[in-house]
Chains A and B, each alone.
Chain A
């Protein structure tokens, strides 16, 4: 157990819908990173928050957004869902500010299926 929790574990929804994925970091960690894992693209970085502030964006679509709340949990919002958004979504937490030195602790992931 990494100490990072993600809910829900599985999510099945239809195209055009909106979903929210939730991540609670390890106690004391201020950074939250979001990743998307698909069969063809592998594990892709989406966005990084540190102590409530957005630090970096990766290959995140405009239909996707995220935030980190004062209690440090984070939510990833996916809207206008398409079939191609079906993937595993991971969050990771770390104690540092930079992914170049931060050891990231991964959650179990949320499997999103868009029908």
Chain B
């Protein structure tokens, strides 16, 4: 079955620490990949997406993600987190010919001052 796995369910970091959230997908073929974020009390919003080209993609608020095809991974990174990055982060994947986004179960990030 096609699935998206996020390794860390809960992450706690201090401000200024570096962040890496893991995401793996189990799809054959070509996939498009997304990271969404949900801040407390807010709606899900797109952080970044990868369709093709440079495997290192930059998104909003200083986030970036690297697509590694051989590892079926699309990990999210940020060099230095802020308290305002506290949120739930969702990785999602869909086949180029697919009809539905598959979401991971999310990673809850808490950044402490």
Decide yes or no whether B101 CB sits under 8 A from chain A. Answer: yes
Total interface residues on B, using CB and 8 Å? 23
| B interface footprint on A71-115 (CB within 8 Å = 1, 0 otherwise) | 000000000000000000010100000111101111111000000
Binding-face segment, B17-25, B69-77, B78-86, B89-97? B89-97
From A2, A42, A103, A108, B104 is in contact (CB under 8 Å) with A42
**What residues of B have a CB within 8 angstroms of the CB of A109 in the complex?**
43
The reply to whether A58 and B100 contact each other, CB–CB distance below 8 Å, is yes
Q: Beyond A4-B43, A100-B32, A107-B43, is A48–B100 a contact (Cβ under 8 Å)?
A: yes
B45 to chain A, nearest CB (A): 7
**What residues of A have a CB within 8 angstroms of the CB of B94 in the complex?**
99-100
Residue picked from B36, B46, B100, B106, most chain A C-beta under 10 Å: B100
From B46, B90, B95, B99, A103 is in contact (CB under 8 Å) with B46
**What residues of B have a CB within 8 angstroms of the CB of A35 in the complex?**
103
A39 to B96, CA, bound (A): 28
Q: Which 10 A-B pairs give the minimum distances between C-beta atoms?
A: A56-B99, A106-B44, A42-B105, A43-B103, A45-B100, A100-B94, A106-B43, A58-B100, A100-B32, A2-B43
Please list 21 pairs of residues, one from A and one from B, whose beta carbons are closer than 8 Å in the complex, sorted by A's number. A2-B43, A4-B43, A42-B105, A42-B106, A43-B90, A43-B105, A48-B99, A55-B99, A56-B100, A58-B100, A99-B98, A100-B32, A103-B46, A103-B49, A104-B46, A104-B101, A105-B45, A105-B46, A106-B44, A108-B42, A109-B43
